[in-house]
């Protein structure tokens, strides 16, 4: 096999310009795919991180039916004390969970004593919330980075519109599930930068203040946001936790809880899917480039070397070895293109990172592009190129191996 490889490589080097052009074409395709995957991957990772680490968490548990009405923030679909205890028992026994944070979500009236508007609010336990969505604190544009009792984190656009500054006193008025209205004065503790996505323009306050405004006799919560130790295990763990929660039934033998991953809660998951689909089609284009270029070169090689093939066959070279020789030539072209593409692709990705290219995502400005590619993706793209090259060589190689020695030797 070693000698066969040597002959294959020498044959490729016979036509240096053609080999160089084909290898370059494949390498350019690989570079394009690598850079595309790295850049879109960076954007996708940022987008997922902004959704999961600044707002949603990785998973959320609600009372069954809550998500269908989530736009109304229905207080009558909150989880009650008994259900919360059962849920916490399950969550506390899961080693995959890093932390979780209970939330009371409600809609309220926000008044500056001069103007009034509506606001969506999240009552949270500050330490648990900041551990579950660690990027929340980075959204604080000014003010205190912890949510204290009696304080309100106000979204930036609302603060601007209502001309409210940190330290101002405002009033929150809300109707509880029984229909009674209550209000509470709060101090604006921080102005919060908006993020693109669900809940990206919500305000935050301490969970005890939320319970007080809603006059909760005993603790009720709207949702529990969960953060996993390993985000990559989201799907498998989500399925397992869903199974565990499905076993928790109410008195009517109906499930109490519903579990959603961030993917089901955020419309940006569809953008992430679109990126994946685009990546898939870009890879298909790479396959097409490899197939067309290698097949073209190998057909030419067979045509130009018909007499050589005839000689090899005449002196007793088995058809299988002739087939292997031409397939090795295609394989070598694929390997050379993949290696060159990987090297230059990584260099381009490195250059993009050094250039510190910034971009905006909705209201958020100045994200720095952090293009990166994991070894698995490199291996997959290389495998696509090499397998494509071998497949493209198959037909010309087969033709060479089946050639009639007499006709081949007579070929002019």
From the list 63, 111, 60, the residue with the least C-alpha distance to 256 is 63
**Is residue 255 at the binding interface for another protein, with CB under 8 A as the rule?**
no
Selected from 5, 7, 135, 306, the binder of another protein by CB under 8 A is 7
Q: How far apart are CA 172 and CA 182, in angstroms?
A: 8
Q: Which stretch binds another protein (CB under 8 A): 11-19, 125-133, 137-145, 359-367?
A: 11-19
Three-state DSSP class for residue 79 = strand
Q: Which stretch binds another protein (CB under 8 A): 19-27, 283-291, 296-304, 314-322?
A: 314-322
Q: Which stretch binds another protein (CB under 8 A): 112-120, 240-248, 249-257, 315-323?
A: 315-323
Q: Which is nearer to another protein, 10 or 215 (CB)?
A: 10
**Is residue 316 at the binding interface for another protein, with CB under 8 A as the rule?**
yes
**Is residue 312 at the binding interface for another protein, with CB under 8 A as the rule?**
yes
Count the neighbouring beta carbons within 10 Å of the beta carbon of residue 355. 11
Q: Is 181 left (phi over 0), alpha (psi -120 to 50) or beta?
A: beta
**Is residue 10 at the binding interface for another protein, with CB under 8 A as the rule?**
yes
Q: Which is nearer to another protein, 318 or 383 (CB)?
A: 318
Q: How far apart are CA 186 and CA 79, in angstroms?
A: 26
Please name the residues in contact with 311: beta carbons below 8 A apart, sequence gap of 6 or more. Answer: 408, 409
Q: Which is nearer to another protein, 6 or 215 (CB)?
A: 6
From the list 99, 95, 191, the residue with the least C-alpha distance to 139 is 191
From the list 152, 227, 143, 155, the residue with the least C-alpha distance to 196 is 155
Q: What is the nearest approach in angstroms of another protein to the Cβ of residue 409? A: 7
| Phi (first) and psi of residue 173, to 5 degrees | -120, 130
Selected from 319, 335, 370, 380, the binder of another protein by CB under 8 A is 319
Q: Which is nearer to another protein, 14 or 215 (CB)?
A: 14
Q: How far apart are CA 369 and CA 46, in angstroms?
A: 9
Q: How far apart are CA 369 and CA 181, in angstroms?
A: 47
| 272-311 residues near another protein, rule: CB under 8 A | 307-308, 310-311
Tokens 């940190």 correspond to 166
Q: What is the nearest approach in angstroms of another protein to the Cβ of residue 228? A: 57
Q: Which is nearer to another protein, 307 or 365 (CB)?
A: 307
Name the token pair of 135. 């990027």
Please state the length of the chain: 412
Q: Which is nearer to another protein, 99 or 393 (CB)?
A: 393
C-alpha 379, offset from chain centre: 19
Count the neighbouring beta carbons within 10 Å of the beta carbon of residue 136. 24
Q: What is the nearest approach in angstroms of another protein to the Cβ of residue 24? A: 22
**Is residue 315 at the binding interface for another protein, with CB under 8 A as the rule?**
yes
Q: Which stretch binds another protein (CB under 8 A): 24-32, 111-119, 312-320, 360-368?
A: 312-320
297 with 257: CB under 8 angstroms? Answer: no
Contact string 367-406 vs another protein (x = CB under 8 A): --------------------------------------xx
Residues at the interface with another protein (CB under 8 A): 3-4, 7, 10-11, 13-14, 307-308, 310-319, 321, 405-406, 409
């Amino acid at each position: 096999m070693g000698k066969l490889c040597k002959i294959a490589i020498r044959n490729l080097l016979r036509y240096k310009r053609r080999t160089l052009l084909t290898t370059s074409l494949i390498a350019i395709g690989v570079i394009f795919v690598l850079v595309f995957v790295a850049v879109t991957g960076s954007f996708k990772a940022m987008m997922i991180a902004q959704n999961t680490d600044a707002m949603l968490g990785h998973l959320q548990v609600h009372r069954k039916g809550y998500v269908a009405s989530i736009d109304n923030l229905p207080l009558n679909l909150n989880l009650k004390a008994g259900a919360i205890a059962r849920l916490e028992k399950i969550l506390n026994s899961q080693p995959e969970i890093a932390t979780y944070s209970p939330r009371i979500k409600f809609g309220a009236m926000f008044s500056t004593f001069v103007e009034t508007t509506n606001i969506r609010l999240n009552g949270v336990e500050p330490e648990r919330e900041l551990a579950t969505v660690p990027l929340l604190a980075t959204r604080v544009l000014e003010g205190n980075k912890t949510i204290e009792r009696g304080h309100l984190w106000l979204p930036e656009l609302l603060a601007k519109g209502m001309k409210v500054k940190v330290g101002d006193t405002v009033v929150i008025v809300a109707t509880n599930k029984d229909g009674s209205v209550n209000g509470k004065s709060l101090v604006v503790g921080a102005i919060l930068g908006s993020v693109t996505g669900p809940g990206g323009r919500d305000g935050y306050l301490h969970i005890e203040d939320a319970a007080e405004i809603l006059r909760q006799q005993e603790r009720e919560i709207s949702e529990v946001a969960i953060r996993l130790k390993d985000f990559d295990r989201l799907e498998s763990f989500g399925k397992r936790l869903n199974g565990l929660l499905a076993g928790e039934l109410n008195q009517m033998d109906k499930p109490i809880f519903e579990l959603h991953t961030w993917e089901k809660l955020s419309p940006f998951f569809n953008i992430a899917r679109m990126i994946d689909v685009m990546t898939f089609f870009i890879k298909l284009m790479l396959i097409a480039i490899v197939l067309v270029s290698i097949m073209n070169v190998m057909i030419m090689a067979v045509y130009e070397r018909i007499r050589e093939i005839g000689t090899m066959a005449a002196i007793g070279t088995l058809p299988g070895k002739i087939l292997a020789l031409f397939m090795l030539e295609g394989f070598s072209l694929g390997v050379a293109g993949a290696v060159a593409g990987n090297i230059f692709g990584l260099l381009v990705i490195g250059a993009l990172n050094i250039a510190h290219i910034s971009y905006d995502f909705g209201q958020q400005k100045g994200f720095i592009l952090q293009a990166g590619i994991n070894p698995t993706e490199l291996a997959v793209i290389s495998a696509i190129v090499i397998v494509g090259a071998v497949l493209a060589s198959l037909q010309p190689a087969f033709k060479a191996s089946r050639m009639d020695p007499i006709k081949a030797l007579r070929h002019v």
